[in-house]
Amino acid sequence: MAQKPSIPKGTRDFGRLEMAWRNYIFDTVRSVFKTFGYSQIETPAMENLSTLMGKYGEEGDKLLFRILNSGDAFSGVDFDKPLASQVCEKGLRYDLTVPFARYVVQHRDEISFPFKRFQMQPVWRADRPQKGRYREFWQCDVDVIGSRSQLCELELVQIVDEVYRRLGIRVLVKINNRKVLSGLAEICGAPDKVVDITVAIDKLDKIGLDAVKAEMLEKGLTPEAVALLEPVLTLSGTNAEKISVMRSLMAGSEIGLKGLDELEELFGFIGQAGISTPCEIDLSLARGLNYYTGAIFEVKALDWEIGSISGGGRYDNLTGIFGLPDMSGVGISFGADRIYDVLTGLDKFPDSLAVSSTLLFANMGETAYVLPVATALRAAGIAVEIYPDSSKLKKQFDYADHKGIPFISICGETEAAEGLIQIKNLASGEQRSFAKDDVAGMLGFLAA
Amino acid sequence: MAQKPSIPKGTRDFGRLEMAWRNYIFDTVRSVFKTFGYSQIETPAMENLSTLMGKYGEEGDKLLFRILNSGDAFSGVDFDKPLASQVCEKGLRYDLTVPFARYVVQHRDEISFPFKRFQMQPVWRADRPQKGRYREFWQCDVDVIGSRSQLCELELVQIVDEVYRRLGIRVLVKINNRKVLSGLAEICGAPDKVVDITVAIDKLDKIGLDAVKAEMLEKGLTPEAVALLEPVLTLSGTNAEKISVMRSLMAGSEIGLKGLDELEELFGFIGQAGISTPCEIDLSLARGLNYYTGAIFEVKALDWEIGSISGGGRYDNLTGIFGLPDMSGVGISFGADRIYDVLTGLDKFPDSLAVSSTLLFANMGETAYVLPVATALRAAGIAVEIYPDSSKLKKQFDYADHKGIPFISICGETEAAEGLIQIKNLASGEQRSFAKDDVAGMLGFLAA
């Protein structure tokens, strides 16, 4: 009566090599975050539904995984009323942002602001699973909260620059500012049309200027407004030139000018910090419009076709929903799964990640003889295995091959009697013989 | 209408310092696992309830967190039948062992046996929360499956030895063997009394020999059986002496002698491998009797009163429930929360873990000047922050103090004009001045 084992759709097991590759991404991201002084935190997988509900829109609420109350969840339930909310009080984390906001408010008295934190944990969404979209996936978020300085935005751009430099992925950083978008809508006399304007700008490459103008008219913008926006639609040149064109256009909008000041300061810092990754203003960027209030970021891989691999922005009121107003912050999220896909596609994972152990002592029944040698090599930081059974050598070699172990040592009675350790480089075929206590010699051979 | 934020009972947030301490444990354990050639895997937080149910006993089934089906979970439900099983198909991982067994069976064709894996992930149990018991907690499991060699048991003892040596915790490894316990029950003519015999032996220290003998009689053992067991109850001396006493006693029990052979081989290996941690036979060890079939391990901290901080054993049929019989394995689990408590109690966490960044550039409005210096120091691996706002210096010093940052650099107009970088060691008060491009000089001072 054996069950056929499987896992829930949209979830994944990660084996040896996948873990080595994933950890390479996480370790790289983490070590960059740390050189900028960001501290890691973790929050529980389960949050109270009252914390999560209403934060991701109606659609988001539907995608929350709810956890049945423990004990007898259905006792005392009113079956004439909606059941889910009566039998579930907890849900799985849907993103890292809302739990972070909850964390900041709950721990405000222990935190020294500005609070620079990062968080790398799985999140769960009851989305329809499809290629590249999972029900359990990992987010790596880095945020600083409690400062309005554009140096915070700069730091995130520096982090992006350094992370992708280390990973060997060429990227483009697209930068926009929500206040500039508000300013554009304001000068058009249509402050409620921010999204329509952004969507239209975004289509420029695909459908051309005339079609975009037609679409804007259709959306209810006046011909005067569309004429006003034309210089923005055809914006080109350096970032400074773009800002200059918009500044003359936006003279009448206080919020628009504020946005341009922010962009100008940020690009000034980017120049001073000597960032080599290309950064450009892109007015069509409008991610998460509902909560971003300043800078908006998106990072594209230049050599691999995929959506954005990092993104974020500034929010002025993230913690307001939990009772802590006026706490401005800015953050960016690294999409581990997409970065994984890019590194796989570009074949950029270092070969060394495939190696699990450096040396396998084959089991010739003389394990007592090699035990102290294995211990000495491990003490020097070398990953060493002793094959546990005295199986056929073919099987032991296959094991080394399957695990990507580059060196094998075959020591039988003869070697034990002579006090020798034989080590063979499986790739080159070179074989060397060492005195049992010549650990330094072995280390040299294994490092070659 | 601000919500007062909180998290579900039995769960925890981990802040900066707690994370640094926890990661120290995880990193230590992981790096030891790796030097023995174990590979990390991860499984999803959610498993199908069909995978989990019935594996942890009736009590365990009740402690599973169930996840409400997504979509309209209650449509088509028969309200006259038990509801939970109709509206929930998935549950949260309860331990790492059953998902590991499921993983091995599901991926049997990709795995090269013996399969040496480790896994460090949270598990969830709807237990009543209390001091030291959480509803979300972390397990670090290391197992080798697909070999019956006692070298596998040895390797786990070596791992325990090395992990606790690196963590600076003195421990005692207690070792038993399920076959020896079966043998004892067999020679007493009471093969069903294994648990009663073990429980009685365990009480010896507390209640004394006579009371233990009385209890055994009460449990239905014959006076002859109790007399037979007396040499076991009063067992003393070295491990070899203990084995020798039991061997003469157990001459009539095939399974008992097999268990003694295993113990003898394991202690032989322990001696040959030069393990410095004390290891002793303890017949009262009987953890998880239901699935252990050979060696049983338990690790006690010697200098801190707490339950076992690691434990495990050999199982012969873990994967049988999923259709893969005769797959023997042995594993051990490190209890991260208890290790954390021991390290806290003994004050053994390295002080360096409290340091988040090495240097804070105070913000005197001259950030453009210090930006390239910060970049150069970070490139050398130093964690450096620039305070984002030109706040009062008192506030900036408080920030450094709160985050445990040991060095601060205050560079204003004067330093910028002179091309200098001032750095102060906050503990010693020593202040040094460097040319802006003397990164090597700064690194030397910061490393001191």
Q: How far is A2 from chain B (nearest CA, A)?
A: 5
Mean pLDDT throughout A290-306? 92
Count of all residues that appear for chain B in the document: 448
Mean pLDDT throughout A63-91? 92
Helix (H/G/I), strand (E/B), else coil: B290 = coil
Mean pLDDT throughout B423-433? 97
Mean pLDDT throughout B36-59? 94
Token code pair at residue A203: 């289509």
Nearest to A216 by CA among A185, A257, A254: A185
For residue B193, name the pLDDT band (cuts at 50, 70, 90): confident
Scanning the structure block, which residue is given the tokens 């500005």? A114
Mean pLDDT throughout A177-188? 93
Q: What is the pLDDT of residues A389-415, one digit of tens each?
A: 999 999 999 999 999 999 999 999 999
Q: Which of the two residues, A290 and B107, has the higher pLDDT score?
A: B107
Task: Strand A46-48: give its sheet, edge to edge.
Answer: A46-48, A88-92, A66-68, B66-68, B88-92, B46-48
Domain annotation for chain A: domains and CATH numbers? 16-345 (3.30.930.10), 355-447 (3.40.50.800)
- Which pLDDT belongs to residue A448? 79
The CA-to-CA distance between both ends of chain B, in Å, stands at: 52
- Which pLDDT belongs to residue B153? 98
Question: Does the distance separating the beta carbons of B47 and A7 come in below 8 Å?
Answer: yes
Neighbour count for residue B415 (Cβ, 10 Å):
19
Q: Count how many Cα atoms sit within 13 Å of the Cα of residue B411 in the half-sphere of its side chain.
A: 28
Nearest to A334 by CA among A169, A204, A194, A190: A169
Does residue A382 have a pLDDT over 70?
A: yes
Scanning the structure block, which residue is given the tokens 């907690």? B137
- Which pLDDT belongs to residue A288? 56
Does residue A205 have a pLDDT over 90?
A: no
| Secondary-structure breakdown of chain A: helix, strand, coil percentages, each rounded to the nearest 5 | 45, 20, 35
Q: Can you tell me the distance from the alpha carbon of A40 to that of A30, in angstroms, rounded to the nearest whole number?
A: 9
> By CB neighbour count within 10 A (0-12 exposed, 13-18 middle, 19+ buried), where does A128 fall?
exposed
* A79 vs B2, B79, B384: nearest CB: B79
Buried b / exposed e over B30-42, threshold 16 CB at 10 Å, is bebbbbbbbbbbb
Does residue B262 have a pLDDT over 60?
A: yes
Kindly identify which residue of chain A lies nearest to residue B266, measuring between CA atoms.
Answer: A368
Q: What is the pLDDT of residues B140-172, one digit of tens each?
A: 999 999 999 999 999 999 999 999 999 999 999
- Which pLDDT belongs to residue B230? 87
Residue from B34, B42, B135, B158 whose CB has the most chain A CBs within 10 Å, to mutate: B42
Question: Does the distance separating the beta carbons of A41 and B13 come in below 8 Å?
Answer: yes
Residues of B in contact with A378 (CB under 8 A): 35-36, 162
Q: Can you tell me the distance from the alpha carbon of B47 to that of B7, in angstroms, rounded to the nearest whole number?
A: 23
Neighbour count for residue B273 (Cβ, 10 Å):
19
Residues of A in contact with B158 (CB under 8 A): 375
Question: Does the distance separating the beta carbons of B8 and A147 come in below 8 Å?
Answer: no
Q: Can you tell me the distance from the alpha carbon of A84 to that of B382, in angstroms, rounded to the nearest whole number?
A: 50
- Which pLDDT belongs to residue B191? 87
- Report yes or no: B203 and B211 within 8 Å, Cβ to Cβ: yes
- Report yes or no: A307 and A338 within 8 Å, Cβ to Cβ: yes
- Which pLDDT belongs to residue B288? 57
Question: Does the distance separating the beta carbons of A8 and B149 come in below 8 Å?
Answer: no
- Report yes or no: B115 and B146 within 8 Å, Cβ to Cβ: yes
- Which pLDDT belongs to residue A291? 79
> What residues contact B182, with CB distance under 8 A and at least 6 apart?
B191, B194, B253, B255, B256, B259
- Which pLDDT belongs to residue A234? 81
- Report yes or no: B144 and B318 within 8 Å, Cβ to Cβ: no
For residue B332, name the pLDDT band (cuts at 50, 70, 90): very high
Torsion angle, alpha carbons of B271, B272, B276, B281, to 10: -30
Mean pLDDT of chain A: 93
- Report yes or no: A46 and B11 within 8 Å, Cβ to Cβ: yes
For residue B2, name the pLDDT band (cuts at 50, 70, 90): low
- Report yes or no: A53 and A82 within 8 Å, Cβ to Cβ: no
Kindly identify which residue of chain A lies nearest to residue B166, measuring between CA atoms.
Answer: A379
Does residue B67 have a pLDDT over 80?
A: yes
Q: Can you tell me the distance from the alpha carbon of A361 to that of A408, in angstroms, rounded to the nearest whole number?
A: 6
- Phi, psi dihedrals of residue B348, rounded to the nearest 5°: -105, 0
For residue A247, name the pLDDT band (cuts at 50, 70, 90): very high
Kindly identify which residue of chain B lies nearest to residue A118, measuring between CA atoms.
Answer: B16
Nearest to B283 by CA among B163, B201, B222: B201
- Which pLDDT belongs to residue A233? 82
Extract the runs of DSSP E, i.e. beta strands, from B93-160.
115-124, 136-145
Q: How far is B107 from chain A (nearest CA, A)?
A: 9
> What residues contact B243, with CB distance under 8 A and at least 6 apart?
B260, B263, B264, B267, B281
> What residues contact A305, with CB distance under 8 A and at least 6 apart?
none
Kindly identify which residue of chain B lies nearest to residue A370, measuring between CA atoms.
Answer: B273
Nearest to A41 by CA among B21, B12, B14: B14
Mean pLDDT of chain B: 93
Angle at B299 between CA B294 and CA B302, to 5 degrees: 150
For residue A1, name the pLDDT band (cuts at 50, 70, 90): very low
The helix (run of H) or strand (run of E) holding residue A433 is strand A431-435
Token code pair at residue B384: 């450096």
Neighbour count for residue A20 (Cβ, 10 Å):
20
Question: Does the distance separating the beta carbons of B7 and A44 come in below 8 Å?
Answer: yes
Q: Quote ipTM for the complex.
A: 0.93
- Report yes or no: B217 and B258 within 8 Å, Cβ to Cβ: no
Share of chain B above pLDDT 70, in %: 98
Helix (H/G/I), strand (E/B), else coil: B434 = strand
Scanning the structure block, which residue is given the tokens 């370790």? A27
Give the max Cα distance, chain A.
Answer: 96
Neighbour count for residue A395 (Cβ, 10 Å):
13
Mean pLDDT throughout B55-60? 86
For residue B359, name the pLDDT band (cuts at 50, 70, 90): very high
- Which pLDDT belongs to residue A287? 61
Q: Can you tell me the distance from the alpha carbon of B293 to that of B330, in angstroms, rounded to the nearest whole number?
A: 10
For residue B58, name the pLDDT band (cuts at 50, 70, 90): confident
Residues of B in contact with A5 (CB under 8 A): 51, 102, 105-106, 322-323
Residues of B in contact with A73 (CB under 8 A): 83-84
- Report yes or no: A36 and B378 within 8 Å, Cβ to Cβ: yes
* B45 vs A122, A324, A386: nearest CB: A122
Range scoring the smallest mean pLDDT among A118-132, B119-133, B199-213: B199-213
Nearest to B284 by CA among B300, B270, B271: B300
Task: Strand A431-435: give its sheet, edge to edge.
Answer: A384-386, A359-361, A407-409, A420-425, A431-435
- Which pLDDT belongs to residue B235? 86
Does residue B1 have a pLDDT over 50?
A: no
- Which pLDDT belongs to residue B287? 61
- Which pLDDT belongs to residue B121? 98
Buried b / exposed e over B325-345, threshold 16 CB at 10 Å, is eebbbbbbbbbbbbbbbbbee
Mean pLDDT throughout A330-350? 96
Number of A/B CB contacts below 8 angstroms equals 298
Scanning the structure block, which residue is given the tokens 């205050």? B410
Q: Which of the two residues, A277 and B133, has the higher pLDDT score?
A: A277
Q: Can you tell me the distance from the alpha carbon of B363 to that of B391, in angstroms, rounded to the nearest whole number?
A: 7
Q: Can you tell me the distance from the alpha carbon of A402 to that of A387, in angstroms, rounded to the nearest whole number?
A: 13
Task: Strand B310-315: give its sheet, edge to edge.
Answer: B39-40, B115-124, B136-145, B329-335, B310-315, B295-301, B171-177, B279-281
Q: What is the pLDDT of residues A263-272, one digit of tens each?
A: 999 999 999 9
* B7 vs A47, A378, A387: nearest CB: A47
